[in-house]
Structure 1
Amino acid sequence: MQKITPFLWFDNQAEEAINFYTSVFRNSSIGKVARYGEAGPGPAGSVMVAEFELEGMRFTALNGGPMFKFTEALSMVVDCKDQAEVDHFWYGLSEGGQPGQCGWLKDKFGLSWQVVPEALPRLLGDPDPARAGRVMQAMLQMTRIEVDKLEKAHAG
């Protein structure tokens, strides 16, 4: 049993969001869905709360109204094994959203994501400060992380 579950507050797009996220992540599913009844406060039949799972991690989505918005103070990190995975998640999650710098993006619902290849922390962690510094400088020029450019910067 997962002890901590991210709880995502949406205005009225919870169902659209969970359908979007489960389309981007291959290992995903939608669980229990509770809908508003005639008593409201949301429109009858619309999602009140829904559970979903992405890559083995459970999430809960709520249609709670417009009072709260996502900020970059919280982001989801997607660890990727290679450039193909980076590209899949970067282009999938950024569809209709906004690309950011250094692998960050906001999806079309405003949720922030970091799409990170396994090479990035490995190369940034090089004990040679010059090599690690070149990797950092290369990364700072990127939106979507490009592994080949990081490796070229690392090599000098």
Structure 2
Amino acid sequence: MWRSPVSIESADAETSEVVHKTLIIRKKWLELAVYFVLLIATALYANDALKLPSYSSSGIGASGFPLLVAMLIGVSLLFLIMVSFLSKANSESDSLVEVSRPAQVLLSMMVMVAVVLTLEWLGLIVGIALLAFLLMKLGGENRYSLLLTLPPLLALSIYAIFVLVLGVYFD
């Protein structure tokens, strides 16, 4: 059996160094990178939506809603990119972000799976509101004014878009 010449103490020291290494990046550049990745994903989504059949005056068609969503997301992302480039640096936008959150990502994935598995029991509005609340909390949001208002508004907005605008009813 081969043994490493490194002692246990130095092996522990090397291990602790690896655990504490993080990537530090300016918040503004991280945001821009995420915006561009989302813009590429939106373009791919729109490209797939264009392949779906569309109807003329008889209705929205299979490609109508996905194209509308892609267009709104794309315009919003372009606006965010433009604002990010044109905004002057302040203390918050010049701050640094440490990227080392595997536990946070794992917990977020577990929350998403749990909500999907219990969505039928929870109901659409409560499930979406709970998902948004938990993801915001795991993301580090601590302002209860946002935590208690945005998730229900998001859930009701999604419900209103599908039921009132598109006429899709949930049983």
TM class, shorter-length: under 0.3
Larger radius of gyration: 2
- The structure whose residues are more often strand, as a share, is 1
- Report the TM-score when normalising by structure 1: 0.23
- The structure whose residues are more often helix, as a share, is 2
- Report the TM-score when normalising by structure 2: 0.21
